[in-house]
Amino acid sequence: MSGGIVNAMTCDVEDYFQVSAFDAVVPRSHWETLPSRVVPNTERLLGIFEESGVTATFFLLGWVAERFPSLVKDIAARGHEVASHGYGHRLVYDQTPDAFREDVRRAKAIIEDRSGQEVRGYRAPSYSITQRSLWALDVLLEEGYTYDASIFPIRHDRYGIPGAPRHAHALSREAGRLTEAPPSTVRVGGMNLPVAGGGYFRLLPYWWTRWGIRRVNERERQPAVFYLHPWELDPDQPRLQASAVSRFRHYRNLSKTEARLRRLLQDFRFGPLGRLVERVS
Ligand SMILES: [Zn+2]
């Protein structure tokens, strides 16, 4: 186990058909009709965390929290932090500020009601707070959120602000002060490369993640912020007819995630993101 640094474990709770890459092939009106797998997949994650003695932050989609209140209760009862992934999984930069406000307000109210916990954190669908949607940070502050985890400091086709700070930091906005807690990257050859989660955890070999988090912890003396989705532990999920790139990103190595996650939980210490944020603000 690496040093005394406690990294942040985070999970974006959404169903396999709600990911942005499938927007074009799964209309929202079909969400109700597809077989849901989010409850058993999240329960499986909860079991793994419990066996490893890890508490985490669950960024819940309001749509999921509304339909599965006992899942939200269970997450909170097991000592995890609940936070918001918005209500309807719409990309921030595709929304008007008013529509975004409605979405994050609705999600916060539902998750707080179902969990009995105050919601302080937000993570945008597909890290969609970018240079053109920074206004969202003011809306979050006005709606009672105190931290955001949506700005990926990398270059990517769908998200990212390449020059953004790489570690958790306080941001002064017109509406007040907010803590920004980005997913972890390493700096190599003048570029920021993602090392802590999602597709990168599944598509690249495990040593990449271990090397990256070690580098962040040991060389920079900073905690890492890791993220994953419940559907990433579900090799049996129904296959959707999306583009070849999306299918590769979504389905590759699903059967390997659980074993990798167990290794990761042995190799590093983890806790909720809210606790890491408190040390910054
Ligand atoms: Zn998402």
Rounded to the nearest angstrom, the distance between the alpha carbon of 4 and the centre of ligand 1 is 30
Gap from CA of 3 to ligand 1 centroid (Å)? 31
CA of 211 to the centre of ligand 1 (A): 26
279 is written with which tokens? 């040390």
**Cα distances (angstroms) measured from residue 267 to each of 4, 167, 207, 234:** 12, 21, 11, 23
CA 202 to ligand 1 centroid distance, Å:
16
C-alpha of residue 65 to centroid of ligand 1, in Å:
14
Contacts of 156 (CB under 8 A, 6+ apart): none
Inter-residue contact 170 to 177 (CB < 8 Å): yes
| 83 in Cβ contact with 108 (< 8 Å) | no
Query: Measured between alpha carbons, how far is 245 from 164 in angstroms, rounded to an integer?
Result: 27
Q: Helix, strand or coil for residue 35?
A: coil
CA of 87 to the centre of ligand 1 (A): 10
The answer on pLDDT for 274 being more than 60 is yes
Q: What is the pLDDT of residue 275?
A: 96
Per-residue pLDDT tens digits for 151-203: 999 888 888 999 999 999 999 999 999 999 999 999 999 899 999 888 889 99
Surrounding ion ligand 1 within 5 Å at CB are: 12, 14, 125
CA–CA separation, 230 and 199 (whole Å): 13
Mind giving me the DSSP string for 124-154?
A: -GGG---GGGTHHHHHHHHTT--EE-----S
184: CA distance to ligand 1 center in Å? Answer: 17
Q: Tell me: the pLDDT tens digits for 60-110? A: 999 999 999 999 999 999 999 999 999 999 999 999 999 999 999 999 999
Residue 1: predicted pLDDT: 54
C-alpha of residue 78 to centroid of ligand 1, in Å: 22
pLDDT of residue 210: 97
Is 66 within 8 Å of 104 (Cβ atoms)?
no
Task: Report CA(170)–ligand 1 centroid distance (Å).
Answer: 24
Please give the distance, rounded to the nearest whole angstrom, from the Cα atom of residue 125 to the centre of ligand 1. 4
Provide the H-helix boundaries in the chain: 38-52, 62-67, 69-77, 97-115, 135-142, 198-203, 206-214, 244-251, 257-267, 273-278
Looking at residue 238, what DSSP letter applies?
P
What does the CA dihedral 206, 208, 214, 215 come to, rounded to 10 degrees?
A: 180
pLDDT tens digit string along 187-201? Answer: 999 899 999 888 889
| Distance between Cα 88 and ligand 1 center (Å) | 10
How much distance in Å is there from the Cα of 104 to the middle of ligand 1?
14
